[in-house]
Structure 1
Amino acid sequence: MMEYAKRWSSLALAIGASTGVWAAEPPNLVPNASFEQTAEGSVLSWRIDDTMSRWVDDRAATGTRSILIEDASRTAGSSVFSTMIAVDGGKAYTVRAKSFALNGNGLGLYVRCYDSAGAYIRVPDSIAQRTLPSRRRRWKSTSFAVTLPEACTRVQVWLHSYSGSVVSACVDDLELRKGIHVASDQVPEAPVPFTRADVSFAEGPHPFLLVTADDITRIQATADTQEWARRALARFLKSAETWCAEPVVHPDRGGGWYHWYACPKDGGSLQTVSPTQHRCKRCGEMYSGEPYDTVAIMSQHNGLGSRCRDIGLAYALTGKVEFARTARKILLGYADRYNTYELHDTRGPSKRASAGRVGPQTLDESCWLIPITQGYDLVYESDLFSDADRRHIEKDLLRSAAATIRRYDAGKSNWQSWHNAGMGAVAFCLRDRELAEHVVNGSSGFQFQMANSVTDEGFWYEGAWGYHYYALMAHLALTEIAFRSGTNLYANPRYKGLYDIPIRFMAPNRQLPAFHDSGLSSGLPGTKFLEVAFRHWQDANFAWGIHQRGRAWDALLNGVPDVPEVAAPDLKSVNFSGPGFAVLRSGTTIDDMYLALDYGPHGGGHGHPDKLGFSFYALGDYVAHDPGCVAYGLPIHGQWYRQTVSHNTIVIDGQSQEQCTGQLSCFYASPGFQVVSASADRAYDPIRLARTAVMTPDYVLLVDDVSDTETHTIDWALHGVGELSSALPLTERAEAPGTNAGYEHVESVRSARTDAPWSAAWSRPLQSFRVTMAGTPETEIITGRGWSVSSLGKQPMALVRRVASNTRYVALLEPFRGPAPQTTLTEFPLEEGGIACAAHITGARHNDVFLRGSGQSTVVAGNASTDAIFAFASGTDGDVCLAFVDGTSMVRGEGRVASSSPCRLTFRQETKGLWTAQYAGPKNNALKVTSPAWQSARQAMGPPSIFGVDSSSRRGAALRGNDAEATCSFTPETSGTYEIVFPGAPSLAAFREQQHADAAAVAKAARRPAIPEFPIRPFTPPKGEQPVGRRIVVQAEDFTGQGKGEVRKTDKKVAIEGEAFLNWNDPGHWLEWSIDVTTSGVYTVVFRYCTQEEGAERAVVLDAAYPAESCRAIPFPSTGGYSNARDDWRSLALSDVAAGKPIQVYLGAGKHALRVYNLSKPVNLDYIVLEPFVEDD
C-alpha cells in the first residue's frame, strides 16, 4: 500500500443533501456501490490505496458493509478508488454518497476524469469534488452534479481526505447517474461567458512594462515641480545605490512556503536572524532547520526579484551603467540556474502540476517572475547585453518559468490570477501573442476571472479581504503591464469594483473585519491601488483615499501629478448580495456602531464554517471579532480558526457547520431602525437556523431560532474583547465544553446555570459592551478564553448552552463607556408561536418594542401590534420612532403609522419640530401618522412643510399633505426620504450636520487622556526686539524624559537621520526634550514625523505652558505609513489653526523644556527642528 500526499482542495461551493428518490432516475453506473459483492475475501470493483481505510461490517447505510476511513495524519491522505466507469464526455452526471461521520472533518468525494488514452484530465475541485458532512450520529447523503470535459471517456469515484485533515468516517452507497438529479441550487453554476479583449503590443524599444519613456519624462517633471515628488525620487535613487552595491548571491535551491514561518507556540511571525536562525517576534523563541531555513531562502529569491526590478528602474531613470550591470548579474545568474532547481511543493520534492522551481508553488513562482521580467524589460536596451545574453535569459529563464507556471491551470482562483500576471509579464515583454491571448482571453484568463471571480458589487469571490487584496495585486500587475503595452483591460466594467468595494465595506475606523482566511485589513487600499485607480477612473473615493494615505513613491511612479481634495465618502448600510454580507451602520462617526453579518457562499478553499456569524464594532473599535486566520502551517489554524465555535454564531452538538450558503430573507435600513434576517438551514441539515439582527442608534438586538424534531446540544457563541465580568455565580467547570471541533482549545472554563435573564460585559478603557439575554429555563452560560484575531491572542468568550429540539435566543448587544447603563430586556410570550416574536427594551434611554410576525396576520404584544414581518416602536406612544417592514401598520399606545398598501416605512422624530419619513413602496400609497408628539408640535408650532430630500438631505420640491392637529397624512411621489418640518425647527440638512459634529466632538473628547492643566502663554520677544536665532535640530531619540509609556529607538526605518523612535502609541504617554538655545531668537517648531493613522493628535507644552490655544491639540495628519518600506516622513510646523499660520515662539538663550503628550493614535518621530523665524519683506 502507498500513502497519498494530501492535496489542497478548493473545497465545495455547496453541499447537496438528498431529499428522497428522484422519479425515473437512470441506472447507477457505480459497480458494487454498496460494497456487498466480494470474491476471495476482496470487495469487487474497489481499490484501497492507503493504510488508513478498511471494510467494516458493523455499520452500513444499506446492506451489511461500508468503508471506514480513519485518517490521523496531517500529511498523508486516504485514497479509495472505484474501478473505471465508462461515460459520455460533455454530459452532466449526478454523484451521490452516504456518510456517517465519527470524528473530525475533511473527507472529500471526487470524480476523476480520464481521456480515451487513459490520461488524467484535471477538473477544478469546485466542479468535481464535495466535502462529506462532518456531523455525527446519523447517515447523511451528499450529492452534486458535474458536467464532464468533452474529452472524458472514463471516470473513477475517489474518496480522499485532503490537506491537513484528521477525520474518521464511514461511507456507503456510492452513485453515479447520468443527468442532473439534484435540487437546482445544488447544480454548480456554469462559467459566465466573457467578452474577449483586444490584445496589442508595444511598438518600439523597451521599456514598456513598469514604465514607458513618457512615464520617465512625467516622473522627472513632477519631481522638478513638487517637493513630495523630489523627495520620493531622491530616496528611491539613494536606496538603489545601496542595492546596487550589495553582492549578488543566488540561492542554490528553491524556497519554502511562508505559512511555515510562524511560531508553533503562539502563532507569532518569525524574523530571520541568519539563514539558519529564526526568532519569534512575539515570544523570542529561536528556531532552526526545516521548514524554516527554506522559507528564508524564498525571501532571498523574492529579494533578488525586487532588486532586479528596482535597480532596473534606477537605470531607466538615470542611465547609470552600474545599475544595469547588477541587474545583468541577477538575470544571467537565474538563466544559468533556473532549470537546475528541483520541482518541489510545500513539503518537498514533487512532480505535481502546482509545484514550482524557485518557489514551492506555481503561485510563488508567478509572484517572483513579475519583477524579474520587469527588471529585464527596464535594462533590455543596455549595451551590456549581447544578443546571446538576451536569448539565454528569454529561453532559459523567462520562457522556462512561464512554462513551469502554465503546467497548472488553477481555474477560478487567486492562484490563476497570479499565474496570468506572471505569464503575462513574459508575454508582453517578449511580444508573444499566443501566450498573451492565453492570459487575457484564455479559459482561465483575466476576462474569465472578471466574469466569474468578481461579484456584481466588486468582491473577490472567496470573501476574505486578505485574498481580495492578494488577487487584486495580481490583476493590477497584469493590467498595468498590458496597458503600457497597448492593451486596455481597464475597459472591463467589472474591474473597477475590486478597488472600490473595500472603502464601501470598511468600519468607521477604516478596518475591514477578519472574515474567512484573512486578518484585519485596511479598508483603504494601498497607495499603489489608489493611485492607479484614480489615474484610470477619476473616482472621488479614490481621490479621498489618496489624501488619507499621503503621496510618496507609489504616487510618483503610478499616479497623476495633482489629485483634488474631496469630502469623505458617505457610507451607508448595505446588503452585498454577491458575497452574502450584510452591513448595518448606526451613523457615520468613528463611535457609531457597525455590524457585518456573513450569510453568503462558503468562500471556496479559504471559507470558514461561519454562517450567520458577525463582527461587531462600536465606540471606535471592534468589540466582537470574527477570528480570521493565522499562518496555515500552524495546527491551530485548522483546529480552531476553521471551526464554527471560534465564530459568533450557533454550534450544534459540538460540531462545526457544513459548508453551505445561507439565505437572506430581509434587509431594511432606515434612520433609527435597521434589520437584517437570514437563515442557514443546510449548515446542520435538517436543523433550521435563523438569525435576525436589529440595529437602533443605541444597541443591536439579536433573535436566533433553532428548530428540529430531535434534541440537540445548542451553543450560542460570542467572542468579545476586554475583561469579562458578570453577576452570574460562575464557578470552575469540571469538564471542558467539548473535546474536539475547537472546543478543546477553550481555556479557563467556568459556568453557571440560570432560568432568568442575565448579562455579561466585556470592558476596555475606551469601549465596552454588554450582552443581555432574555431568560429561558435550563440555560447554562459557559465562559472561557479562546483565540481571537491574531494580534489580540486569547480573549474572553461565552457559550450559551441549551439542550433542546427548539429554542430561541433573544440577546441585546449594548456598547457603553464608563458605568454600564441599566437596561432591561423582556421577551413577550405570544399566542401566535412559530416565527412570531416580540421584545421589550427599557432603560434610561430606551422604551422600545420590536415585533416579528409572518405578514399574514396581526401580532399583538401589550399595547403594540403590527401586520408586518418586522416592526419597531420607540417611545411610550411611538413618539420617537414608528416603523414597519412589508406590512401596512404599526401601533403602540396612541401612536400609529399606517399605509393604504403594503410597504416599508419608518417615521421618526429627529428633534423637536423635525420628523423624517423613509418610504419604500408603490406609488399613490397614502401614509398616515397619528402621534401625541405630533399633535403637541402642531399645536405649539403651526402647520408643517413636507419636502423630498436626497441622500445628502438636500431638499427637493415641497409636497402637499393633509394636515390635522393629531394626524399627518401624505402620499409620497416615489420611494425615498421625506422631511416634515414645523416652523422654527432646523432643516434636516442643518440638523444632520450639527448632529454629526456633536457626535464627532463627543467621540474625540472621550478618547482624550487626562493630562495636567497648563496655562496659555504666548512666547513673545521683548518689546522692540526681533532677534533671529540659529537653527537647532533635536534628534527625537535624545529625549530627556517620558511617562505613562515607553518608546523604542530604532535605526531600521527608511530615510531616517540618525535614529528614530516608535511605539508612541498610548494616550497620555508624554516625552520631554531639553533644548539648549545658544542664541536668543524667534523660532517656529517643526516636527519630522510619520503615521499611518488618521486622527493622531499631540498636546505641545513649552516651558510648562501652551504657546497658543491650538497647542492643546495639534493634529498630525496621516503620512500613509510608518516608513517601514518607503519614505513616509513629513514635516509639520507648529501652527495656529485658527490664524492659519505658524506659531512664533521667542526663546531666550539657555535651557528650555519641550514636552509633548500623546492625545490619540501612534506617531513616530525622527527629529524636531527649531527654525529661526524671519519676517517676510
Structure 2
Amino acid sequence: MRKFSLFIIILFLLPFMLFAGEHPSIFITSQEAAEIRASLDKYPLLKKSFENLKTQTEKALRQGIEVPPPGEAGGYEHEKHKQNYRDMQAAGVLYTITGNEKYAQFVKDMLFAYAEMYPKLGPHPLSHKQRPGKLFHQTLNETVWLVYTSIAYDCISDWLSADDRKHIETNVFDHIIELFTVEHSDVFNRIHNHGTWMVASVGMYGYVIGDKNLVEMALYGTKKDGKGGFLKQLDLLFSPDGYYLEGPYYIRYALRPFFLYAEAVERNEPQRKIFEYRDGILGKVHYSTMQTVFSNGTFPPINDASRSMDVRSIGPVVSNDIAYQRYGANKNLLAIAAIQDQVILNKAGLMVAKDMATADVIPELAWKSVEFTDGHDGKQGGLGILRSGTGEKQTMALMKYGTHGLGHGHFDKLHFSLFDQGSQVVFDYGFSRWINMEPKFGGRYLPENDSYAKQTIAHNTVTVDQKSQNFGNRKEADKVAAERHFFHAGGDVQVMSARSTKHYPGVQMQRTLFLVDQEKLTQPIVVDLFRVESTDEHSYDYPIHFHGQLITTILNIRPP
C-alpha cells in the first residue's frame, strides 16, 4: 500500500514540476559561464562586454538598494525601478560567471526590498487610462521588470535558501503572476507587443520555478486553448517574410521578449523546436528587421517611431546574437554586431565575439534590395526597399504599402523616404513625444502625435482634399491595405510600384519609384512617378519633406 501511495504522489506532482532542474537555465548555464571565463582574454568584444557589465553593476553595488514608491512615467521613481531590474539581471549573470557571492547577495537584498513593498501596492495611481501595473503606470513596464528579474532569480535560485525562495515568491512573484494572468488576462491574451512581453515574462518565470501550468499558459493563452499566447503571437503579428505589422521601431522593442522567451523554451524543452516554428519565423523576424535599417544602423522611422533609434539598442543586440547562434553565421549579422560593439553574455554572445576576433576583416553592412509582404497571410501589401552601393555611402529608397499598423500606425500609404550619404534626405516625421521626460507628459505620446505626426500630410505621399487617408479613422484604416504592383531589384535600374485604392473614396493612386545608378551618373538618382485618378474633382497635395535645398525644377512654381 505504501508503494502504491508513493507512486500516486509522484505521478500527481510530475506534470507541475516537469521543468524543475538545474539553475540557471533560461539565459545562461554554469557550463556556458565557465566557457566565458576561459575566453575573456581571447576575444576582445566578449571582454569589453563583460567589463562594461561589471562596471555598471559595481556602481549599483556602491549606491546600495533603493526601492522607491511608484511615481510618474518618466520620473525618478519610474527610471529607478527600470534601473533596478537591469542591475538585478546584470548582477545575476555576473554571479553565474564569476561565482562572487556579493552579486547574488545584491539580487537577494533587492528582491527582499520588493517583497516588503509589493504586497502593499494597489494599481498605479498615475496610469492615465492605461492598464496600470503596480510599480509602473502601465503593465508593459511591469512585464519587462519580470523578464529581467526572472533571469536574475534563475541565476541565484540555487544559492538562496528554501525559506528565501518562498519569501520572495510569495511576496513578489505570486502577486505579479496574479496581476498578469487574472486581473489583466485580456492583455495577456492580446495579440500585440504588450501581450508578447506579458506571456514571455510569465513563461520565463514558469521555467525558473518549474511550473508547467505557467509555461503552458504563456504558450497557449490563459485558457490554454491556443487563442492567445506566444505561439499565436508568432502566427498573427508577422507576415510569412517575418515583417512586423507595427514596423521596425516597435519590433526593435519586442525583439527581446520574442527571443529571450524562445531561448528559454529551447533550453528547457528543445523538443518543441521553437526556433523552427512556422518555418523558422523568428529567424525571418530578425533578418527582416535588420534589413530595414539604414546603412549606419538607424531604423527607418515608420509609424510611431524615433528618427534616431538604431541597432545599438538592447533588443537588436539580444536578437542578433541569438539569431547568429541559432540560425547560422552570417556576414551581415557580424557587420551589425560590429556596429553594436557589444554582445550578450551567454553562448550566443560568445559565438559572435569569437567570430569577430577570428575574422580576417570585419565585413561592412551590405544588405541588398528587398521586398517584404505585410499581414499575417502575406497578402496585405508590403514594404519595398531599393539599395545601391554598400557601407555608409549606400543609397536606400523605401516605400510603405502595407497595413496600417494598429494603434501605432500612421495614415501614410505609398509614403517613401530616402537615405543617402549617411543621412535621411527625404525623411519621415516619426512620432511626437519626449521619451522618459517627466515634464513632457511623462514621456508619453503628445496630442500632436495624433493631430500631426500620424496624419497623411506629415508624410511623403499625396493628400486628397486636405484630409488624411481613411479620414484619420484608425479602425477604418486597419480594415484595408495598399496593394503591391511589382518589384524589380538588381542592375543599374531598380523599380518598385504599388497602388492605394481604398484609402480615399473614389480615388485610385499608384506610385512607381525608380532607383537609377549608371556609370554616367555621379550619384544614384530617384525617379518618382505618382498617378492619381478619379472621376470627381479633388485637390491634391504632394508633400516632399526634403532635408536640403531645391536647386532646379522644370515646373513653374509660384505662390497660389
Q: Which moved more, 1:439-448 or 1:551-560?
A: 551-560
**1:612-670 deviation per Cα after TM superposition (whole angstroms, max 9, x unaligned):** 11101233322110111132432222221111111011112221111241112222234
Partner in structure 2 of residue 462 of structure 1: 246
* Change over 3 Å in CA distance of 1:549–1:361 after alignment to 2: closer
Does the alignment pair 1:539 with 2:329? yes
Letter in 2 for 1:562: K
SS of residue in 2 equivalent to 1:706: strand
Do structure 1's residue 373 and structure 2's residue 150 form an aligned pair?
Answer: yes
Verify: 1:705 aligned to 2:534, yes or no.
no
1:715 aligns with 2:541: yes
Secondary structure at the residue paired with 1:522?
coil
Q: CA deviation at 1:332?
A: 1.6
TM-score of the two chains, using structure 1 as the length reference: 0.40
Q: Taking structure 1 as reference, are residues 773 and 677 closer, same or farther at Cα in structure 2, changes over 3 Å only? A: farther
Q: 1:646 to 1:539 in 2, by over 3 A?
A: same
Q: Counterpart of 1:683?
A: 503
Q: Secondary structure at the match of 2:495?
A: strand
Change (3 A) 1:651 1:215: same
SS in structure 2 at match of 1:250: coil
Cα 1:329–1:622 change in 2 (3 A) is same
Deviations 1:28-73 (A, max 9, x none): xxxxxxxxxxxxxxxxxxxxxxxxxxxxxxxxxxxxxxxxxxxxxx
Tell me, yes or no, if the aligned pair for 1:664 and 1:677 is still in contact at 8 Å: yes
CA displacement 1:928-966 (0-9 Å, x = unmatched): xxxxxxxxxxxxxxxxxxxxxxxxxxxxxxxxxxxxxxx
**2:172 maps to which residue?**
397
Counterparts of 2:540 and 2:421, CA distance in 1: 31
Rounded Cα–Cα distance in structure 2 between residues aligned with 1:531 and 1:392: 35
Counterpart of 2:354 in structure 1 is 562
Given that 1:211 and 1:484 are in contact with CA atoms closer than 8 Å, whether structure 2 keeps it comes out as: no
Question: What amino acid maps onto 2:104 in structure 1?
Answer: A
CA RMSD of aligned residues (A): 2.8
More helix by share: 2
Q: Which of 303, 307, 310 is equivalent to 1:522?
A: 310
Equivalent position of 2:27 in the other structure: 210
1:270-289 equivalences under 5 Å are none
Question: Do the aligned partners of 1:343 and 1:355 also contact (CA within 8 Å) in 2?
Answer: yes
In structure 1, what is the Cα distance between the partners aligned to 2:391 and 2:48?
35
Bigger relative contact order, structure 1 or 2 (CA pairs below 8 A, ≥6 apart)? 2
CA drift of 1:491 comes to 2.6
In the alignment, the residues of structure 1 paired with residue 27 and residue 20 of structure 2 have an alpha-carbon distance, to the nearest angstrom, of: 15
Of 163, 166, 176, the residue aligned with 1:388 is 163
Matched, 1:595 2:397: yes
Which one-letter code corresponds to 2:218 in the other structure?
V
Q: Of 225, 228, 234, which aligns to 1:444?
A: 228
Q: Which residue of 2 aligns with 1:674?
A: 494
Which structure has the larger Rg?
1
Matched, 1:257 2:65: no
1:202 Cα deviation after fit? 4.7
Q: How does 1:635-1034 map to 2 (within 5 A)?
A: 635-658=447-470, 659=477, 660-697=480-517, 698-722=524-548, 724=549, 760-761=550-551, 772=553, 774=555
Aligned positions, number = 494
For structure 2, list consecutive stretches of 5 or more residues without a partner in the other structure: 1-14, 222-226, 376-381, 434-443, 471-476, 518-523
Structure 2 distance, partners of 1:201, 1:441, is: 17
Q: How many angstroms apart in 2 are the aligned matches of 1:612 and 1:200?
A: 52
1:245 is aligned to 2:245: no
Does the 8 Å contact 2:206/2:215 carry over to 1? yes
Report the 3-state secondary structure (helix = DSSP H, G, I; strand = E; otherwise coil) of the residue aligned with 2:538: strand
The separation in 1 between residues aligned to 2:305 and 2:219, in whole angstroms, is 28
**2:370 maps to what in 1?**
574
What aligned pairs does 1:1102-1117 form with structure 2 within 5 A after superposition? none
Distance 1:719 1:226, change over 3 A: closer
Question: CA deviation digits over 1:887-944, x for unaligned, max 9?
Answer: xxxxxxxxxxxxxxxxxxxxxxxxxxxxxxxxxxxxxxxxxxxxxxxxxxxxxxxxxx
One-letter amino acid of the counterpart of residue 354, structure 2 = D
Q: State the 1:365 CA deviation.
A: 0.9
Indicate the residue corresponding to 1:490 in structure 2.
275
Query: The residue matched to 2:122 in structure 1 has which SS?
Result: coil
Seen in structure 2, the aligned counterparts of structure 1 residues 224 and 691 have a Cα distance that, compared at 3 Å, is closer
Deviation at 1:507, TM superposition (A): 3.2
Write the distance in 1 (CA, Å) between the matches of 2:418 and 2:245.
Answer: 22
Report Cα offsets for 1:420-442 as digits up to 9, x if no partner.
11111221111111110111233
Residues 1042-1061 of structure 1 mapped to structure 2, 5 A cutoff: none
Distance 1:201 1:626 in 2: 50
Structure with the bigger percentage of strand: 1
Percent pairwise identity = 23
Distance in 1 (alpha carbons) for counterparts of 2:462 and 2:325: 45
Distance 1:390 1:516, change over 3 A: same
**Which amino acid in the other structure matches residue 481 of structure 1?**
A
- Matched to 1:613, the amino acid is H
Give the residue type in structure 2 aligned to 1:538. G
Shift in CA distance, 532/345, structure 1 to aligned 2, threshold 3 Å? farther
**SS of residue matched to 1:216:** helix
SS at match of 2:469: coil
Q: Counterpart in 2 of 1:1047? A: none
- Once the two structures are TM-superposed, the CA of residue 232 in structure 1 deviates from its matched residue by 4.3
Aligned position for 1:1141: none
Task: Tell me, yes or no, if structure 1 residue 634 matches structure 2 residue 441.
Answer: no
SS of the aligned residue for 1:717 comes to coil
Contact 1:623 1:721 in 2 (8 A): yes
Residues 397 and 546 from structure 1, CA distance in 2 versus in 1: closer, same or farther, beyond 3 angstroms? same
Cα distance in 1, alignment partners of residues 56 and 295 from structure 2: 36
Structure 1 unmatched runs, 5+? 1-197, 259-294, 725-759, 762-769, 783-1177
Shift of 1:415: 0.7
Q: CA deviation at 1:605?
A: 1.0
Q: Determine the structure 1 residue equivalent to 2:441.
A: none
Letter in 2 for 1:605: G
2:97 to 307, 317, 320: 317
Q: Tell me, yes or no, if the aligned pair for 2:411 and 2:456 is still in contact at 8 Å.
A: yes
